[in-house]
Amino acid sequence: MTTHWRRMDRTAMTGSLITWPTHLDSYGGCGTSVYALWPEAGDEPMLVCSRGLLLHAVQKEEPIGDLAPWRTAFPDFDDHDIERAQQSDDLLGALLLGTTGASWALRAPSAAPRTAIADCFAGFWTATPQDLTAEGRTVTDALTRCYGRPPLLLTVQDT
């Protein structure tokens, strides 16, 4: 596994669990982080006793991509009370899959290849299961077997 923890530029990327989309246009100096979360499901008899430790995540950066997974892990996501909105439900596990100093932009499908990204910006890249490396799949598959459910992949942008 190769890590680049000490580099502090936009190209620094941690770990080898995510295949970062370096082929896409770079868009500004904002960073990107990808997390895997395994929310507890209230209707499943998975836990036979109290875990003794409640695990929660607090969303501190800008969520990007499809908001449905965010609403699964953060049920009060749309609440106007900022503290409630940023607090996740109970989690079985949470894992930082990787972080980088870069952000990548998606181009509008109809844009000509030489169009400036500012003129054809169609959102930011967000991680999907296909973006996991072999090591990333090994890690998430092992935890999926442990927790009995696949993770939610959540991508945040450092604002």
pLDDT digits (tens, 9 = 90+) for 26-68: 887 678 999 999 998 776 666 666 677 888 999 988 899 999 9
For residue range 88-103, what is the model confidence (pLDDT) as tens digits? 998 999 999 999 888 9
- Check residue 45 and give its pLDDT: 60
Q: Is the pLDDT of residue 77 over 50?
A: yes
Q: Is-contact 144 100, C-beta < 8 A?
A: no
- Between the CA of residue 81 and those of 62, 65, 86, what are the distances in Å? 16, 22, 9
Residue where the block lists tokens 């003129």: 119
Length of the chain: 159
**With 80 as the cut, is the pLDDT of residue 4 above it?**
no
**What pLDDT, on a 0 to 100 scale, did the predictor assign at position 6?**
45
104 CB neighbour count, 10 Å cutoff:
18
**In the structure, what pLDDT confidence band is assigned to residue 134 with cuts at 50, 70 and 90?**
very high
- pLDDT band for position 2 (50/70/90)? very low
Chain mean pLDDT for the chain: 86
> Sheet containing 104-107: which strands, arranged edge to edge?
25-26, 104-107, 121-124
DSSP state of 29: S
